[in-house]
A and B are shown apart, each in its own frame.
Chain A
């Protein structure tokens, strides 16, 4: 058991290192000179050289990388070139918006997915199943930013019920804030809900055919009792883990929806920073996202290993 845990943790380390190199390289390979941007359009070449030196950009790339890693290890993510504020602070400012949206989206996804997934598994190959499958397929095929635009057209422009964008902090004024939150949350949540619904269905189906369920039935427990007590509980494990991974994905992956709804989240911040060549901000934020995702994955794997002995006992897990 502990070898499994140790092995997985050790495996995660080089991944994180590789990911940090990728983060660093990605933004540094982007064409365009942040020194030029910072120095302004009228700067002479000497000024640009001076600014570049001041930013530490004249050192060779590996050196810059090493310096950055050392800085990060000491807890310092650096300062944004554009606003001169600490990267950590900027990320902290954008984080609540992202988390708010991610949680709301997941909530909607769960509210949609669990009932439909369980229903279509239990009533397999009958009308409810076909309907749910069709709806899921539809929801997965529609690009979420288009869905968002359509929702804006209807709810905001035609009916004028909801605002077409922008964020009001939920905790400060829930009665009003939900109106700004609901459209982007639905836009993000529906495709996730569809995927989750399918996953729930599959997980339920697998569990429903397990031996112990048949045994329970043979023992005389009623159908619904069997489902409620055993099936759902066991299907929940993979579902929860999928949710965790989705949450990790949503942190940075909601860029487009954030753009459509002018939601000031981290994805959008990274996009802006890439466009502005704000190196340290991109590096810091991307690194955070990537490390978070790796950690979530690790936790999920470990949980699985703990809960399902088959996994940790099999050799050669990828």
Chain B
């Protein structure tokens, strides 16, 4: 993937000033799917704001029509605030969020029209758009926003953003369309929360069992046959004029990836999400289809070591292991070239991304051997390596490659799978006692979120790693508002991650889809949620 040639440096202070002035102008939404014959693995940029600024109407696509999508798992509207991949078709179609990030992690207006920071960045005043109606006809007010913010604090909801919501110490509603959030310290990460927080209807959110799924989004929940089909219809009263273009969205659930590809190729579907990697390879060559890899940085493969178990307590040993990971082979064998090798957990749009450092670790068994000898482990050792049984098709293959390569260094890896919930528990309780490998998220938000939320990177991480410098860096990042200082902190943290190597990234785990050539303007958010306001099927 070629990095964007001109990734604009974010001048934080300038941006802050702009935000403080409630400046809502926005660049034109960029198309997410390069339309064209051989759209090979070009990384599609993420969706920009869903709504063009006043006076900048996008080229009007053909209106009407129906989009038929297919994926392997069913939506789970039971809990809209529990982020699940399977809910990608409904999160931003049935609901809206307050803001949404663009490609360079700048929040763009959604239900929030503009926002102002106080001068000490401890208070955020958000002005809501006027005249937004829920599908039930009721108008959106600040009370609904407060309801949703508070709702995810309930542990029973199980939202990943609970901690983020709890950072908001004070909520006030000076008028029905204004909400004021107060924090103890500057919390720029609040836009991470806005990104994830779909605004549900407080009157019906408990009634999902009756099939009442109500939001403010561009599509209305029409009909749902679980594990089979979901039908969404155009919301004629959507607050964004001219949107959506489509009349209908039909989502079919086919649990077998190959059967899904069959239906797609037979012309029964317009868009298929995550066909098998081999089918994707094949369809990529066919000019009838668009094949898009959604490089949003939503999910990464990683390898981690429980540092409480010798010899994994020596950082030279861990660095050696890092050098012994053949990332290219993993990407080819397990992912058919769809993912991208990485060492650090940052997507290219992140302010913490560092191309040089990321590419500085290459597969080198000899250097690894030397490091092992240096650490006194030259004669080899034996450790268990644990992974989640559900991920056997991908992570399992990484383990097999590691077993073979590390075997040449005298390191014997005993593969152990754990059933999904058992694995989660071991992760929570930090008791792997060896190596473990899995996937993590939180990379494509405000960088400090990774260290506050993601299991492998937190202060209380699953590797049992702790150091004063690590903690200091995290604390410093949290609440820092100066862009220059943040850059230094990110750089220091990246160096620490590579040096201590208690958790190293292996490759991205992008979502990807194939679509027929007549599908235009399919967009998606940082969380790979579908944004279909401008989508058209000609």
Contacts and interface: CB of A to CB of B under 8 A. Distances in A.
B425 interface: yes
A38 to B, nearest CB: 8
Contacts of A22: none
B268 to A, nearest CB: 9
Interface stretch (A9-17, A162-170, A217-225, A231-239): A162-170
A77 to B, nearest CB: 15
B266 interface: yes
B76 A82 contact: yes
A167 B160 CA distance: 37
Nearest to A89: B226
A93 B228 contact: yes
Interface in B247-293: 254-256, 258-260, 262-263, 266
A47 B78 CA distance: 17
Nearest to A176: B266
Contact of A32 (B254, B262, B421): B421
A33 B262 contact: no
A54 B260 CA distance: 36
B120 interface: no
B158 A93 contact: no
Most chain A beta carbons < 10 A, residue from B225, B419, B422:
B419
B256 A262 contact: yes
B155 A32 contact: no
B82 A83 contact: no
Contact of B226 (A32, A34, A85): A85
Interface in A28-53: 31-34, 36-37, 39-44, 46-47, 50-51
Interface residues of A, number: 36
Contacts of A261: 259
Contacts of A34: 421
A84 interface: yes
Q: Size class of B's contact patch?
A: 20 to 34
A88 interface: no
Contacts of B46: none
A37 B421 contact: yes
Contacts of B228: 93
Interface in A234-256: none
Most chain A beta carbons < 10 A, residue from B156, B263, B421, B424:
B421
A40 B82 contact: yes
Interface in B400-426: 419-422, 424-425
A165 B258 contact: yes
A98 B422 CA distance: 32
Nearest to A259: B256
B209 interface: yes
B425 A83 contact: no
Contacts, number: 83
B162 interface: yes
A291 B159 CA distance: 40
Interface string A36-74: 110111111011001100100000000000000000000
Given A41-B424, A90-B226, A163-B266, A262 B158 contact: no
Nearest to B77: A84
A32 B209 CA distance: 26
A112 B159 CA distance: 57
A165 B421 contact: no
Interface of B: 74, 76, 78, 82, 155-156, 158-160, 162, 208-209, 225-228, 254-256, 258-260, 262-263, 266, 390, 419-422, 424-425, 427
For the complex of A and B, the 10 pairs showing the least CB-CB separation, nearest first, are A262-B256, A166-B259, A262-B259, A40-B158, A47-B155, A165-B259, A32-B421, A36-B421, A32-B419, A33-B421
Given A82-B76, A166-B259, 7 more contacts: A31-B419, A36-B425, A42-B160, A46-B155, A50-B155, A163-B262, A166-B262
21 contacts: A31-B419, A32-B419, A33-B425, A34-B421, A36-B421, A37-B420, A39-B156, A42-B158, A47-B155, A82-B76, A83-B74, A83-B227, A90-B226, A90-B227, A93-B226, A164-B262, A165-B256, A165-B258, A165-B259, A166-B256, A262-B259
Interface of A: 31-34, 36-37, 39-44, 46-47, 50-51, 54, 82-85, 90, 93, 163-167, 259, 261-262, 264, 268, 272, 275, 277
